[in-house]
Structure formats: structure tokens, C-alpha cells
Chain A
Amino acid sequence: MTGEMHARVPSVAGANSKELLISVIAGLLQGCRHVAVGASSPIPGAGALLAQNLSGGEMRVSVLGSRRNNFFTDGGVELFDCAAQGRIDAFFLGGGEIDGHANINLVGVGGYPQSAVRWPGCFGSAYLYLLVPRVILFREEHSRRVLVDKVSFISAAGPAGDKIYRPGGPHALLTNMALFSFDKTRRRFRLDSIHPGHSLEEVLDNTGFAFDRPEAVPQTPLPDAERLARIRGPIRESIGETYPRFAASVFPIPA
């Protein structure tokens, strides 16, 4: 559901918009020991590989679908067993709908089970969301269609103030417009920064749920020249193994 990966990538002051997202993701993963990235997730994958690169190789990154960056040997179940044991610190989830309480919907809208609009399904979300401490919600499209007041179907539930076993949960929400963090006690998102080229008004207009924000919302920092060189060098090469078409379309300068 990360979508639109082959579209023309607009440039923002040296770094393009995808490179900005990759850089933001790397920042969100700082300090993690083991980050896992699910299928069809080139930008989270590139962000995780950048975080690993910046960690000097301390961080483990498992990219599903990769041969080089995937050391699981026990079949599809291993990722999930790993998560339940606390061996995975961060993971990424998307959502056709994400609401203000951080519930996510990957099933569809317009009724269930006979849905007018049906998406693929829950995948591992219902499970991983409760077990992985730093779940990053990543959805490029920032619109009232996606960021809704209340999801039509809860694929995976945000923190509800109940006393169930829940070492995991939402850490941040990243879109092509802004970065939010999630306050588990208040059960609300907080706008942390707005990406260059976008305004607070635009964020407010396109967000269907209420959220907290500081008086002055900072701009999301662009990757500096040194980080950009890493993205366009080793990260481009590394993510290209799993997502060759993505790598070719996003990075303007060949490695």
C-alpha cells in the first residue's frame, strides 16, 4: 500500500521527496537492534538500510523478499515468532484507512464481508501491531480519504487504555506531507514536523482526525549532503537488489 512508487519524483532542494522520507525513517529507527521490513515496502526498506548504514553495522535489518538482507531460515512464521519474543524492535504498517486513535484498516470500506471496496487483507498487522514496540505507520497519500476520524474495519487496533498484553504499538505516522508521533496515554497523534513545500493549512485540510501540535510546527529536516551521498550510493545499491525498478526510478544519480 505504499503505492505510486514509479511516478515522477518531485525534487525538494537537492533531495527528492522519496529521499526525504527515507532519511526521516532512518531517524525514527535510531537505537533499534533489529528492524524488519515487510513485503512491497521499498521506502521503509531503504530507510531501514540507511539506519543500519548510519549505525555502523550495529543494527540488523531483515527485508522480506530480499536474499542478501534476510537471514530468516525457518519459513514465513519466523518473523512472527521473533516479534512475539521481543526480538524485533521496529516494523512498518500501512493502511487504506488510519484513524485518530491509530486504528488501521487494510480490509476495505463499504461493508463487511461484502465490501464495496476491498483491499488485500490484514496480513500480519493484527498481530505485529501489538507486539513490535516501534511500529511506524507509513502511507504516502495524505488525504481525508486515508486519515479518517474512525476506520470502517479495525484490522489492527491502536492502544485502547485496556490492560491487555501489548508491548507494541504505533510510534509515528509518516506521510508525504508530515510526520506525527503518537501519544499512547492521550491516544492522539501529535504533529511533529511538516515536510518542505507543505503548509500547516494543507495538513489541516487533508487530515480527517483531530491531532495535537506545538505552537510553531518545525519543518522536517532535509538529509544533509553526507547522508544524501549514502542514500544515493550504498542504499541505492542495497535496496535495488530487492526493488530494482524502485531504485532506478527514485535515485537521480547513478551509484
Chain B
Amino acid sequence: MPQSPLTTIAALTQRIPDGALLAVPADYAGVAMTATRALLHRGIKDLHLVCLPVGGVQTDLLIGAGAIRTLETAAVTLGEFGAAPRFVEAVRQGAIRLKDATCPAIHAAFQAAEKGIPFIPLRGILGSDLITHRDDWKVIDNPFAADDPIVVLPAIRPDFVLFHALKADRFGNVWIGHHRELMTLAHAAKETLVTVEEIVDDNLLADEVVAAGVIPSLYVTALAEAEHGAWPLAMPGAYDIDEVALKAYVEAAQTETGFRRILHDWLRETEVAAA
């Protein structure tokens, strides 16, 4: 029996070195916010962050803290809370290297990685200025038909993928339900790091119905329990978004000083300090 990936948040986040290519899911799929704060507490820097397919408060926090060198995403937004203030400012200052993309292109690039192929063709995109600015995207002729230019995208094989899920078992199997992009990420990444609300005793692969929504431990490098680990974001099935905290973030992060203050507050959270 292989060793269980079960560990602590500190040990899990220690695996990610400065300069790593890190992939993370969008807010709706489970964002590992406690682990992100642990990374920031450590002062991580020079990350190449890829959002599948868009970033939110996690991305804005990492940018504001100066942890990101390169950002690949289809968008960064705080949704109904407004624009992502540190992202907007960093773009204005030219402080990060931008690889603007479109949602399905990022999905497809990870799907190429999970198949172990070097690139993948995708419809659409032609005529967009995205192609002009992405020198790693190419337009080729469909080799199977005449007069059919098509975009090809290089696979994205992340060093690490980091996300938060509802539960895992003590063997390292992680339940993701219908958030299938998490499965794709785990398949694509060299290392999959997962925090969960709860570790359960029963083997999640034992029940056929449950197993359909489970990432098997084969892909899971490290797993740690983090109760309320998506806070201030929602964890579908466990808790809603913390509107008060997000409003406070958006207001504070309008200025560099305000951002530093709220970052300081958020990093003082007990579970991060303990990690």
C-alpha cells in the first residue's frame, strides 16, 4: 500500500518553491484560501500562476503581495464585489507579465497535458488580438481539410495544482462531485496538493455512486485538513461566501496601504499562524 498523502497545511505548502508554475481553479470549484495565506505568510514569490479559467480574490491577494511574476488567465474579477483592485493596479504599473487567454483555451491546454500530448487544436479565437499577443499560440491549417485555419495551443503541465474540496478519505482519495475541472487539473499536474474540509474514515472508492466524483489518491501528492479552508470564499455544500469579509477586502485593497493592512490581518488568522 502506498504511503498516505495526509499531512499538515505547513508541509503541504512547503512543497511549492518560489518560481513554480502553479495552477488553481475558479472560485466556484473550490479555492484553497487557507493554504494560499500559508504561502503568503512564508513570503512566496515569482510564481507563474495559471487560473482555470479565471481568478478572483486569491489571485488578487497573490498579486498584491508581490508573489506573482507571470499570470495566465481568461479574467480576474471579484464578481459582484467588483473589479480586482490589485490586479488592475499591477497591470497599470506593468508589474506582472500577462498571458491573457480565453476560458476554453486554458481548459484545453490542461486537457492536452492530461493526455500527454504537446498541443491541442481549438475552434474559435481567430481574429482576436489574443493571438497577436500570445506568441505561444499558433494558427495552422487543418491537416484533414482544405481552407480551414485553426488555433493550436501548447499543453500546460503545471508543477503544482492547489485546490480545496469538501472531503477526502484517510487514503488520500478526494471527493470533487461534479467539479470535473479538478480532475483534469490533477491529471495534468506533476504534483496535486489538496486541502479539504473533512477527512473521513470510509474509503470513498468503495461506493460506486460516490466513486464517480472522486480523484483517486494515485494523483494526490499531499492532502491536509483545513476547516473553512475556502474562507472568505464559499465551499459549496458547506458554507456560503463571507460577504462582509469580501466587501472589506475590496474597500481596503483600493490602495496599497489598505491592502497591506488587510493582508496583515488575514495572515494573522489562527490556522495560518498555527500552520
Contacts and interface: CB of A to CB of B under 8 A. Distances in A.
Contact of B128 (A65, A74, A122, A165): A122
A162 B139 CA distance: 15
Interface stretch (A19-27, A110-118, A216-224, A226-234): A110-118
B127 A76 contact: no
Interface string B113-147: 00000000011111111100100000000000001
A7 interface: no
A194 B182 CA distance: 46
A40 B125 contact: no
B104 A124 contact: yes
A118 B74 contact: no
Interface residues of B, number: 52
A181 B88 CA distance: 33
Nearest to A75: B180
Contact of A121 (B54, B94, B123, B182): B54
Interface string A51-70: 00000000000000100000
Contact of B127 (A77, A153, A154): A154
Contacts of B58: none
Contact of A118 (B92, B111, B182): B92
A204 interface: no
Contacts of B52: 76
> Taking chain B's interface residues, is the majority helix, strand, or loop, or is none over half, making it mixed?
mixed
Interface stretch (B36-44, B75-83, B201-209): B75-83
Given A120-B84, A157-B128, A127 B94 contact: no
Given A77-B104, A120-B77, A126 B124 contact: yes
B126 A157 contact: yes
Interface string B20-54: 00000010110000000000000000000000111
Interface in B149-188: 149-150, 178-184
A115 B98 CA distance: 11
A224 B68 CA distance: 54
Given A77-B107, A122-B74, A165 B91 contact: no
B126 A113 contact: no
A140 to B, nearest CB: 15
Given A121-B73, A123-B102, A115 B79 contact: no
A112 B98 CA distance: 10
A137 to B, nearest CB: 16
Interface residues of A, number: 46
B105 A127 contact: yes
A107 B103 CA distance: 14
A110 to B, nearest CB: 9
Name the residue among A106, A121, A124, A166 with the largest chain B CB count within 10 angstroms.
A121
Interface stretch (A28-36, A128-136, A207-215): A128-136
Interface in A178-215: none
A163 interface: yes
Nearest to B77: A120
A164 B125 CA distance: 11
Interface in A133-177: 153-157, 160, 162-166
A80 interface: yes
Contacts of A119: 83
A154 B133 CA distance: 11
B120 to A, nearest CB: 12
B259 interface: no
Contact of B181 (A76, A115, A120, A122): A76
B163 to A, nearest CB: 12
B29 A76 contact: yes
A170 B160 CA distance: 39
Interface of B: 26, 28-29, 52-54, 73-77, 79-80, 83-84, 87-88, 91-94, 98, 100-105, 107-108, 111, 122-130, 133, 147-150, 178-184
11 contacts: A72-B178, A76-B52, A80-B103, A84-B104, A84-B124, A108-B91, A113-B94, A120-B76, A122-B74, A122-B128, A164-B126
Interface of A: 39-40, 65, 72-78, 80, 84, 106-108, 112-116, 118-131, 153-157, 160, 162-166, 245
Q: Which 3 A-B pairs have the closest CB atoms?
A: A157-B127, A121-B75, A75-B180
